[in-house]
Structures are given as structure tokens and as C-alpha cells.
Amino acid sequence: MAIEDDVVVVGGGLAGMVAALAAARQGAGVRVLSHADSTLQSASGLVDVLGYPAAAGDRNAVASGRGSEAVGERPAENGVGDGTTENGVGDGTTENGVGDETTENGVGGGTACGPVADPFDAIPDLPERHPYRTVGVETVREALALFDEATGNLYRGGHTDRNALVPTHGGTVKPTARYPATVAEGLASDDRPTLLVGFETVTDFDAPLAADHLRAAGVPFEVRGATVRFPGEFRADAARTRLADALDANERVERVRDGGGRGAGGSYSTTLPARRALAAAVEPHLDGAERVGFPALLGQHETEAVLADLEAELGAAVFEVPTGSPSVPGMRLAGALRRACREAGVRFTTGNPVVNYETTGNGEQDGEIAAVRVDRNGATVPFHAAEFVLATGGLVGKGVDSDRESVREPIFDCHVPHPEDRYDWFADGAFGDHPFARFGVAVDDDLRPLDSAGDATFPNLRAAGAVLGGYDFAAEKSGSGVSLATGLAAGRAAAREVFQ
């Protein structure tokens, strides 16, 4: 019997889940097809909307200060390979990926490029084909409202339009619109004296170094760092999630203490609950700090209780510093959104990749998409629906693929604008103005992917999130916001079509 839904969303990351949630809230029957863990697992869990005006290629002394290799050498000519001329609205070929934003912003947005205090103010100044411009600033606001409601107590930041500056595990600060509640006490615009605590075996976060770095960044608070041993017997390569589990369960752990002075009776051991043992390890370093930051591993599920216990033991506020993969806050967020989706009636089918599709017409280009096919150990299973949302991610999530000759979207073979010569896909400095960062499908005003002629590829396919081209989420710090806003817009549009 054929599997049939109103809306099938391909991809279970932030954009996919928000699209599913938005469509389901409108009453559509929605299924999410997801293959592997989404990039949420690798992302910090911060929800950026817009941290910087679109890149101008003069970011950071890192790239420009090294002398020999200039950054952003070839700004405008990048679009050339595509063989299209000037962009008109709806052409979407040259403009979406590559060249013109560089020139545009190199002039206007340039100077020193400090972070944007109010992302909603800055959105109208983005290039015309930026996904935010496509969906409009109101949609961004609505998407955040949906996000706030769906994640409930898990997130903060909705009280203001302004960005927050959050300390990163690399010791910088970065602008973000929403942040996990566990991060709230750590904001850089708060002047309370701060202690950062790292663990010997958690190698992505060196607390004393991060503290010195924050000081170099001019933060308005006193900050010190200390490295302690995570209490208990864990292997040196224990995953952060394993340490989080120990705090969740409040496992009793051995605590070895020095028995007074050197040689005076050696050491003795005792067992303590993990949270208390952790607080005891940190306490000697407190020295007047009013808040204490840990790498983000304070429990996967019992986070609130872990924080509360640590705060009570330490007599100071406690916060998390977000890290990269594996990201505990990212996992918490994925879990919360999945719950919200399930409550709204969304079905999930996971573990197998969507490999291709079926159309209603004879010729591929003529019909609508009738079904997507999932590969299950070599057998293909079709999933039918009236409307489809493509939310498979970008290069990182492998929603955009490439070989030595070209860049493509692998499931529907949607057109991905890119320079012909692969040596025009990147800039010379590591933080240069990379054309590859903007790779993705070009879409019309209703988020339908465009073919190379600028026409909608399928009437019932919309794209959301990082599979979209035309923006550099890493430079702008806009990844989550674009996923939310385009996810909402694509999901709502799909539901609208279902009920039309």
C-alpha cells in the first residue's frame, strides 16, 4: 500500500523540522524523512539570525594580515562560468551564489565590520536575493515566535530584538539572537566577574586561554580560567556526552584528595555525587567570581537540575559555553523540536536516505513530484505526497554535492549556480569571501528551486535552510535564522497548497 502524506519534508534538521511543524500547525499531514543525524548535532545550539552585514572579504587580520595571499581577489567575475547575463528578478543564476554581493558590500558595509546590534534593522540592507529578503523580515519574526513557543523554557533572548554576545569555546564572543537558557548567565554584556572552568580531557575548551582571549577582546567583566579534572574515573578520550550522562545521573564518583601536606599520610578517597564532586573541584578557584562557565556538557536531559545543584553548591550563577561537535545544546534543541513536531502530529521516518523521485508527468520537467524514493538496503520505497520540502542542508549536511567538474543538488538535481572553474569556488585565505559558502539552489519568491533558465523546477517543491544559496551563514552568523525563516515559509506554503 502506498504511503501517502500531504507534505513530505526531506531532511530533519532545523529547517526541516520547522517546515514540518509549520505545515502541521496548519492542519496538514506531514512526514519528515531524515537519513543521518542532522548538522544540529555539530552546531553550537545558538540560534543566530544575523550577526554581521554580508561579508566584504576584509574580515579579520587573520586573512589580510598575512601578506602574501590576498583575500577576495576575484570579486565580481565569479558568476561568469554560469553563462548568464545580468540578473533580473527571477533569473536567479549569477546573482545567487557568487559575485555581486561581494562588490555591493565591499563598498557600503565595509568598515571594520563590527557585529550587528539589531538584526531586524540590518536585514533590509542585505542583497536582494538573500533568503531573508525572499521571505521578508516579518517572516523572520514569525519564525522566531514559532521557535520560542516550540522550545519553551529551553531558550532565551526573545525579550529583545537586540543580539546577545555569547562567549565561544574559542575565547571570542559572537552575536546571536536566541541562546539556550543554560547560556543566559554567561552573556558578555553582563559585567559580573566570571570564572571559566575547563576539564583536562575536554580538549576543545581551554578555560584559562579562553579567559585571556576574552580579556583581549575587551569584555566588560573580570574573567579568569581554571582547568580541573572531571570528577570520577573516565578514560582520557571519554566523549562529552559521557560526562553529561554522569551529571544527569548524578553518579557517585570517587574523589581522591590529598591528605594534607606532602608526605603527610598520602591521600584518601571518598565518593560523592558527581554534581557535588564537580562543585568541590571548582570551589577552590571561585575567588569572588559571581558566575561560572563550563563547556556545554551539563547534562543531556536533567540540565536544569544539574545547573541548579551546581549553583546552589557554588553560590554563583552557572552557565555553559557552547562547543562544536558533539554539541550537547544542539542535541537538546533537536530533541525539543522533535517533541514539538510529534505533538503537532508530524511523523518521522529515519535512517535511510532519499535518493530520487517520481513525477506525475511523462517528461520529468513537465509534471509535479509524485513521490520521493528512499533507499532501504538497496530496495527503493516511494513516499507520496502532494507537496514536498527540500531541507537537506548545504555542503556540510550534504544537501549540496560536487565533483571536480560541477556542483549539484543530488536528489532532485536542482540547478545550483556555480562558477565553471572549481578554482573559482574558493578564496585564497581561510576566512576569505568564499563563493562555495554561498552554494545552494536559487529559488523564486515562493521558495521553489529554479532551473538554469530561471523557471521553477517543480510546482510542488520548495527549499528551506542551508540547501538555499545566496548567503554565507558562517560569515554572517545567519544559519539558524535562515533555516527558521525559510522553514516556516516553505512549510506554510506547502500547507497552503494542500488546502487550496
Partner 1 sequence: MTDTEVVVVGGGSTGCGVARDLAMRGVDVTLVEQGNLTHGTTGRMHGLLHSGGRYAVSDQSSAQECIAENRVLRDIADHCVEMTGGQFVQLEGDPDEYFEEKLAGCRECGIPVEVLSGQQAREEEPYLTKSVKRAIRVPDGAVDPFRLCVANAASAEEHGARIETHAEVVAVLKNGTQVTGVEVRHDSGPGKREHRRAGERETITADHVVNAAGAWAGQLGEMAGADVAVRPSKGAMVVTNCRQVDTVINRCRPKGDADIVVPHEATAILGTTDVEVDDPEDYPEEQWEVDLLIDELSKLVPILGEARTVRSFWGVRPLYEPPGAATEDPTDITRDYFLLDHADRDDLAGLTTIVGGKFTTYRLMAESVADHVCGKLGVSADCKTADVPLPGSEDFSVLREYMDEFGLRSPVGRRSVQRLGSRADEVLTTDGPNPVLCDCEAVTRAEVRDAIEGSGTDLNAVRIRTRASMGNCQGGFCCHRMAAELHPEYDESQSREALDELFQERWKGQRHALWGEQLSQAALNYALHATTMNRDRDPAEGDGTLDFGRFDSGAPNRPEETEARDGD
* Nearer to partner 1 among residue 208 and residue 454 (C-beta): 208
Nearer to partner 1, 276 or 492 (CB): 276
> Which triple of cell numbers denotes residue 108?
557600503
Question: Nearer to partner 1 by C-beta: 187 or 489?
Answer: 187
Task: Give the whole-angstrom CA distance, residue 378 versus residue 352.
Answer: 10
Locate cell 550577526: which residue?
51
Strands 173-176 and 164-167: antiparallel
User: What is the dihedral sign for C-alpha 163, 164, 168, 171?
Assistant: positive
Count of alpha carbons within 13 angstroms of residue 433, beta-carbon side: 28
Angle at 355 between CA 353 and CA 358, to 5 degrees: 130
Q: What is the C-alpha separation between 456 and 447, in angstroms, rounded?
A: 9
CB 348 within 8 A of CB 31: yes
Radius of gyration for the chain, computed over Cα atoms and rounded to the nearest angstrom? 24
Q: Rounded to whole angstroms, how far apart are CA atoms 341 and 12?
A: 11
What's phi and psi for 80, nearest 5 deg? -50, -50
In the complex, least distance from residue 212 CB atom to partner 1, rounded to whole angstroms: 4
Place of cell 553550537: 44
* For partner 1, the closer CB: 272 or 464: 272
CB closer to partner 1, 359 vs 402: 402
Shortest Å, Cβ 296 to partner 1: 11
Nearest approach, Cβ of residue 414 and partner 1 (Å): 18
Closer CB to partner 1, 3 or 184, in the complex: 184
Give dist(CA 20, CA 483) in Å, integer: 12
Nearer residue to partner 1 within complex by CB, 69 or 343: 69
Among residues 498, 396, 417, 435, the alpha carbon closest in space to that of 14 is found at: 396
> Nearest distance from residue 84's CB to partner 1, in Å?
22
Site of grid cell 549539484: 408
Q: Considering the complex, what minimum distance in angstroms separates the CB of residue 477 from partner 1?
A: 6
Nearer to partner 1, 26 or 105 (CB): 105
Query: CB-wise, 89 or 239, nearer to partner 1?
Result: 239
- Per-position b or e across 232-249, b if 16+ CB within 10 A of its CB: bebeeebebeebbbbbbe
Torsion of CA 333, 338, 339, 343, to 10 degrees: 140
Nearer to partner 1, 439 or 458 (CB): 439
Contact between residue 32 and residue 17 where contact means Cβ atoms under 8 Å apart: yes
Shortest distance, position 105 Cβ to partner 1, whole Å: 14
Residue 456: CB minimum distance to partner 1, A: 27
Nearest approach in angstroms of CB 52 to partner 1 is 6
Residue 241 vs residues 186, 255, 300, 385: alpha-carbon distances, Å: 21, 21, 7, 37
User: Which C-beta is closer to partner 1: that of 115 or that of 345?
Assistant: 115
CB of 260 vs partner 1, minimal distance in Å: 20
The one-letter amino acid at 74: R
Q: Please, which residue, 17 or 164, has the CB nearer to partner 1? A: 164
In whole angstroms, the minimum distance from the beta carbon of 201 to partner 1 comes to 5
Catalogue the E-assigned strands of 229-301. 252-258, 267-273, 291-295
Q: Residue 287: exposed, middle, or buried by beta-carbon count in 10 A (0-12, 13-18, 19+)?
A: exposed
- Minimum CB separation of residue 425 from partner 1 in Å reads 6
Give the shortest CB-225-to-partner 1 separation in angstroms: 9
Q: How far apart are CA 107 and CA 482, in angstroms?
A: 24
Non-local CB neighbours of 448 within 8 Å, separated by 6+ positions: 456, 457, 458, 459, 461, 462, 463
